[in-house]
Chain A
Amino acid sequence: MAKKLSFLLLIIVMTVAGTVVSMATGDSTNVTNDYSEDMELPEDAVINKGEPNKEEYAHEAVLDEYGTLFCNKESGSKVTILDEIKINRDTKNENIQDYIITGMITEGFELEDNDVVVLMVFVEKENGYVILGKPVEGSMLLFSRVVMPFTGENNPNNIRLVVFPKNSYKVLKPDENLQITDIEVIVKKQKANVLEKIKDSLINTVDSLKQLVNVQ
């Protein structure tokens, strides 16, 4: 009888122990924190608080600093960093204003190891320039998708390409390491088919009638 009872007791103890272990959720953070707080650091230890050791490149900062140079109508440059520039319609998309700008870094232009070239695309708008799309980088080829804001033959897009080596961003000089190239792009309006023309003219007629009714 004693044997049976001790066996039953053992079963119960084991079950309880198992349940406790399985329900326990380890809070490792606390353990680590406790340990690190108590831990003594050597005097010469350097604590990295996550701050960058050197100033990092940022497109926004470059735009802030050189905005007036990039967007000055009179700006130009003699240096050629980006060559074979091609501006093609992105025919994959239905939107006639979607374009792809590509180019290759000029053969003779020497880029430092691990350096890349930055391409910023601007368009002339209201007597100034506004940036088109995101600036892109490349070590040999460059590729940028943009949406041209203007359509029609009388409404050309005056595109300005600004190109420079990324590592030289602190000192950009038009005749040394900064290329500014202006290109005119005309986005031709799609010829509407006959049905669309009829539909448009009907809409115009209805609008005109509505306006007439409103005036009276």
Chain B
Amino acid sequence: MNKMRLFNFEFKKSILIIFLLLLCVFQMGILWSEKNPGVPFPFSSQIRFWRSNDTVDLDEVKELYYRPKSILVSDGSGDLYWPLDSKNNLYRSIWKDLKDSYFRQIIQMKPVIGDKEYERDWYSLIKMKTIILEFKNEIPSGIIRWLAGVDSSVVPAVKQIYKLAIFPSEDINNNKNTLYVYDGHTVYKYVVTIEPGNLKKEDYEKAITTIRNSETIIPMNRLIAFYAITEEKELLISLSDKNKKIWDLLVKTPDTIALNKNNMDNIKENLLDESRRSIITRLSDDLTNVIFSDTEQVYRYYFNGLLDYQYRGKEAGEKGLVEEALEKALMFIECRKGDMIQGAGIYLSKIDETDKNYIFIFDYVMDDMEIKIKKDTEKAIHHAITVHANRDRVLDVKWYIKTFAYNDYFNEYSLFFYDFFEKQLILEYPQLKSNPVIHNISTDYLFSENGMRAEPYWLIETDSKVIYLRMRGKGE
């Protein structure tokens, strides 16, 4: 009996020792892969709770980072355009057709040469009955090819796409749609096939003929047709008396990455990559920023949500193709964004390039208005994210990590350009009277770098500077 008891006890002890041994090996494995990110086999990748490059499927999310600045309907009046709201079903259907079908066809086919004079003149085309899609800046066709999922061996005839006009009535075939693609210099004509699931030709035609009946859309006019204060032929302004309801926004740094001593693990988990355990952490004495660094990279994170990432070897890596660099930039954002950013979307606004890398500028967008950062000390406007990247890696990032919601206040705002110009702009900037050259006008949200409220502003780009003036609501 005693022997039996002793056996049981020994058996239990053995099981416990084996369990502890296994736990020890497991722990060692975790530490090994954490300390040496380049180990040949991913010991613990399956049990990670944080997002990494391996867990993000960029193909699924890449299309969420680009969209047109506007989709305008012209009923042939000449200088009048109806901008569609991005929540509008027609906007979504047109954009779906382009992104899922027409862009692929544009990349794969050769353009037809337009034989009529108006077919080669963008400004004549957009005065006709058409639907116009505009990007904020030129998008290289390599990026369109990558986003449309076309094989990289296909060489597009058009180098970049800036604007595009859809002419549903031009081709007599019911399954064909005519597109004019403008790259900023030349107009290319494409006759694309209307594929199953796309909007039908009559849907496009109906949209053009009935748009005037829409009571919710505030039409826009071309500024140059009324005042000689711009050279931009396509700059649109409103001459309507209708008001637009705009909410103030509550802007916060996500709670998960709030900067305080007790939240360092969360910050590391959300903002750093896999090498987070080997990194040195230094919290500033005044608790306004923290630096995470190792031999290759430096992350500086500020209390106001600004993440400043720098790769130490800025000269390292090949420049590569723009879409390869964009892939790296999107991966950086997507791995960190998670569910932290609510309320606003992140969209690619501009692409620049230097000799050695590409610069991608992204903006937050909510209710079709860009949300930008106002640095009161510099009197300058900053974008949400600026990424320098090449084909191998991200080299530099400045990112205001913020989350957005409607605040407790809204007002009705007049978009009537004349009122704004005479009653606000000229009064505050009388020097404009002598040189009133305007390059761009927009209404955007602005918030102070350290503030929590975003308000609607007029942004005016002139020859010398960018002017921003808070919009005046009803009763203000």
Contacts and interface: CB of A to CB of B under 8 A. Distances in A.
A88 B426 contact: no
A24 B151 CA distance: 84
Contacts of A86: 225-227
A104 B432 CA distance: 13
B287 interface: no
Contacts, number: 46
B240 A92 contact: yes
A91 B221 CA distance: 9
A93 B172 CA distance: 31
Interface string B232-253: 0000000110000000000000
A116 B77 CA distance: 33
B225 A88 contact: yes
Interface in A118-162: 138-141, 143
A141 B80 contact: no
Contacts of B228: 84, 104
Nearest to B434: A107
A186 interface: no
Contacts of A167: none
Contact of A141 (B219, B221, B422, B427): B422
Contacts of B77: 91
A181 interface: no
B399 to A, nearest CB: 40
Contacts of A140: 421-422, 426, 432-433, 436
Given A104-B228, A140-B433, A88 B422 contact: no
B345 interface: no
A105 to B, nearest CB: 8
Contacts of A138: 422
Interface string B275-310: 000000000000000000000000000000000000
B79 interface: yes
Given A84-B228, A88-B226, A104-B227, A141 B421 contact: yes
A26 B227 CA distance: 57
B343 interface: no
Contacts of A104: 227-229
A168 interface: no
A62 to B, nearest CB: 20
A107 B228 CA distance: 12
Given A140-B421, A141-B227, 4 more contacts: A92-B221, A139-B427, A140-B426, A140-B436
26 contacts: A86-B225, A86-B226, A86-B227, A88-B79, A91-B79, A91-B80, A91-B221, A92-B219, A92-B221, A92-B239, A92-B240, A102-B226, A102-B227, A104-B227, A104-B229, A107-B434, A138-B422, A139-B433, A140-B421, A140-B422, A140-B433, A140-B436, A141-B227, A141-B422, A143-B239, A143-B418
